[in-house]
Amino acid sequence: MITLPDELGHLSYVVSGDGPPVVLVHAGVADHRMWDAVVPALAEHHTVVRYDLRGFGESAPPTGPFRETDDLLRLLDHLGHDRVRLVGASWGGRVAAEFALTHPDRVHSLALFAAPWPGYDWSADMVAYDEAETAALDAGDLDTAVRVNLDMWLRGPSRSWDDVPEGLADRLRDPLRTSLVNQPAVGEHSQGPTKRAVSAIAAPTLIGVGGLDVPDFRAIARRYATEIPNATLVEFPDAAHLVALDSPAALTTALLPFLAG
């Protein structure tokens, strides 16, 4: 990966392919490698930029206040990309939505897969997950915290581990551990979402969600699709929360014509 140093540490990124630029922003339990199975097809038509959010993967944890949207803007300026197709998964989807709201002139189109909704009234199951993760981290039990997250975000509420594609848990485990170790620093220094309504997003938008995802996120996806003026909703029936891991071929099939538009 390439390192972009700054006063808070550094961001790490990788670039593949050639053509109109596409930026992929990973989920909050992963890093840039979650897109590995999607990149080859995208790179046949696009310059594909993947980076690790600050405190994830190979990007250093923050040492002071920062905004994820400022980091993305700095990376695009560094690479010389004035306008990009922006794709985000889970927390990365919210970062992408925030970027489209704060820098609309820099976004050609937007794709959000299982993005959260700030201030959402989470279900009892989501509250129980959060409490279990918090209890494990407070006890210094990182292994249990990892298992709690794998159960929620990879396996999901609707299938057994026998139904999860082989090897995915092993691929996700190390990025997830890194995110949990750096979670206190990221939580302390991240400056939070904008107050702008998503109805202000003007770019063509693709909203995606797994049919096996947590019900909260399926409801949130419908809300995004309703409130963003130029949005289309697509469901991936065989995927849980991390569509790029569960259904990379279906995700690529949905993305390529959308990005070409």
* Residue-averaged pLDDT of the chain: 96
Question: What pTM was computed for the model?
Answer: 0.96
Is the pLDDT assigned to residue 40 strictly greater than 90? yes
For residue 2, which of 59, 55, 76, 77 has the smallest C-alpha distance? Answer: 59
Q: What is the mean pLDDT of the segment spanning 185-204?
A: 91
Q: 193: pLDDT confidence band, cut at 50, 70 and 90?
A: confident
Share of the chain above pLDDT 70, in %: 100
Q: pLDDT tens for residues 213-255?
A: 999 999 999 999 999 999 999 999 999 999 999 999 999 999 9
Q: pLDDT tens for residues 134-191?
A: 999 999 999 999 999 999 999 999 999 999 999 999 999 999 999 999 999 999 999 9
The 10 Å Cβ neighbour count of residue 56 is 28
Q: 194: pLDDT confidence band, cut at 50, 70 and 90?
A: confident
As a whole number of angstroms, the distance between CA 241 and CA 57 comes to 19
Q: What is the pLDDT of residue 159?
A: 95
For residue 91, which of 188, 22, 176 has the smallest C-alpha distance? Answer: 176
- C-alpha distances (whole Å) from 72 to each of 52, 96, 217 are 10, 9, 24
Q: What is the pLDDT of residue 192?
A: 76
**What are the φ/ψ torsions at residue 61 (nearest 5 degrees)?**
-65, 150
Q: What domains can you pick out in the chain, each with its CATH number?
A: 2-120+188-260 (3.40.50.1820)
Q: What is the pLDDT of residue 195?
A: 78
Q: pLDDT tens for residues 45-89?
A: 999 999 999 999 999 999 999 999 999 999 999 999 999 999 999
**What are the φ/ψ torsions at residue 67 (nearest 5 degrees)?**
-125, 135
Is the pLDDT assigned to residue 261 strictly greater than 90? no
The 10 Å Cβ neighbour count of residue 201 is 22
